[in-house]
Amino acid sequence: MNYTRDNIVAIASGTGYAGVGIIRISGYDLFPIIEAISGKKNLKPRYAQYCNFYDDKNEILDSGILIYFDNPKSFTGEDVVELQTHGSPVVLNMLLKYCISLGCRHAQPGEFTKRAYLNGKLDLLQAESIADLIHAESEASAKGAIKSLRGEFSHFINAINERLINLRMFVEASLDFPDEDIEFVANAKIKEKLEVIRNEIHPLLKTTRQGVFLNNGVNTVIIGQPNVGKSSLLNVIANEEVAIVTDIAGTTRDIVKQKIIIDGIPFNIIDTAGIRQTEDAVEKIGIERAIHAISEADICIILIDSRSGIMAEDKLILEYVPDHVKKIYVHNKIDLSGEVPRISVEAEKTNIYISAKHKAGIDELRKYLLDTVGFESATESLFIARTRHLNAMQKAVSHINTAFVHWEELEILAEELRYAHTALGEITGEFSADDLLGEIFSKFCIGK
């Protein structure tokens, strides 16, 4: 993807009033701009200089720190200048306008990071992790974004891709030159090499899925009949009064969503309307939205009145839950049924007994939510990921599995290895369409 090598400028600090404000310029031949703004010449790269900042009438606008980074030893790989002023929006905007009058173009959202990617300073996955770090909502998410930014996720992908490239080289050589003695193929090492790749990528797929949860949150939908305590459960898990609670069946008529953090992992807890046959038009809409929420769930909490157990109505509700969605059967109101807080597994169904009213068994439920999506151990080793990474990883795993089945059929094997290599390359940006890059960088802040 090519880009115009012009000079771009933007306010890189946040909006509003602050102690310090930053203007960032990137491009080439910045010395005339630097001299016009600061009066400084022949700057030493990566050294901070205190100076005055001037306007087009050579009047002092402010004083602050100027730092020059020469290409390619800068974030973008171009010449970069940062002007650190007092954090006055008025001063920052006057300086910004002056930079534009000197020939700079106002940067588009994410354009500095985009140039860093296009100039090979970081790969696409690392570029995305900058935005993920900025928007992190928990310590675990921030640490995961830092790991991706440092290249840890990319390292795993590149290592697997290196193995794929080496294997492709020998397989395709044997196809192109069938009369040659290709020792690698003759020694029947293909299946062994594929097994190594498969054993490396399957754990990476699981970690990527966890990285998506770390980034987006785990969609956890509470479903059940009316008046079993769904809203009460949402409130007690969230530790605040999020949903209205009454004894009237059908009180909840819309989706109520609350993000909570459990041991650093974000969960999107979603309370839904009780699913039942009804003639109420508004309640019907709420039930339709509940069914839609179920279709997008990672976990479904099936809330049951512990006094009656699983009823025929509950089984009808379960028919809306896709097979791939993890299910937890939570038996509420044990304060009325005489049960004690506990977790039991019966016929591959996990049953948790709680009282939302008295907060009994809630800690066990929170822990089990973590266990259900694979966060039973510490999160220090996790990196952050996006849905597109997971989709590409799933494609790569599928092609590698197919290659493993057809390892003796070299033409099919070569094709599947190529598909797997391409899918992994989409994650790091080795193979990326221009429209994908445009979508990714358009979601960044201006100045990043």
Has 230 been labeled as part of a binding site?
Answer: yes
- Cα 96 to the chain's mean position, in Å? 32
Contact partners, residue 354, CB within 8 Å, separation at least 6? 233, 330, 331, 332, 334, 341, 360, 361, 362, 364, 365
Helix, strand, or coil here: 337? Answer: helix
Has 250 been labeled as part of a binding site?
Answer: yes
Has 82 been labeled as part of a binding site?
Answer: yes
Question: Are the beta carbons of 184 and 167 closer than 8 angstroms?
Answer: no
Has 232 been labeled as part of a binding site?
Answer: yes
Has 227 been labeled as part of a binding site?
Answer: yes
Has 121 been labeled as part of a binding site?
Answer: yes
Give 9's strand partners. Answer: 25, 106
Helix, strand, or coil here: 258? Answer: strand
Contact partners, residue 258, CB within 8 Å, separation at least 6? 234, 238, 240, 242, 268, 269, 271
Residue 445 is given by DSSP the state P
Has 251 been labeled as part of a binding site?
Answer: yes
Q: Give the integer Cα–Cα distance in Å for 403 and 415.
A: 8
Has 113 been labeled as part of a binding site?
Answer: no
The count of residues in the chain is: 448
Has 272 been labeled as part of a binding site?
Answer: yes
User: What are the DSSP E strand ranges found in 319-358?
Assistant: 326-332, 342-346, 349-353
Q: Give the integer Cα–Cα distance in Å for 390 and 392.
A: 5
Has 313 been labeled as part of a binding site?
Answer: no
Q: Give the integer Cα–Cα distance in Å for 303 and 231.
A: 11
Has 143 been labeled as part of a binding site?
Answer: no
Has 274 been labeled as part of a binding site?
Answer: yes
Has 246 been labeled as part of a binding site?
Answer: yes
Has 208 been labeled as part of a binding site?
Answer: no
Has 307 been labeled as part of a binding site?
Answer: no
Binding residues: 24, 82, 121, 227-232, 246-252, 271-274, 448
Please give the annotated binding residues for Mg(2+), written as ranges: 231, 252
> Binding site for K(+): which residues?
227, 246, 248, 251
Annotated binding site for (6S)-5-formyl-5,6,7,8-tetrahydrofolate: 24, 82, 121, 448
Q: Which residues are annotated as a binding site for GTP?
A: 227-232, 246-252, 271-274
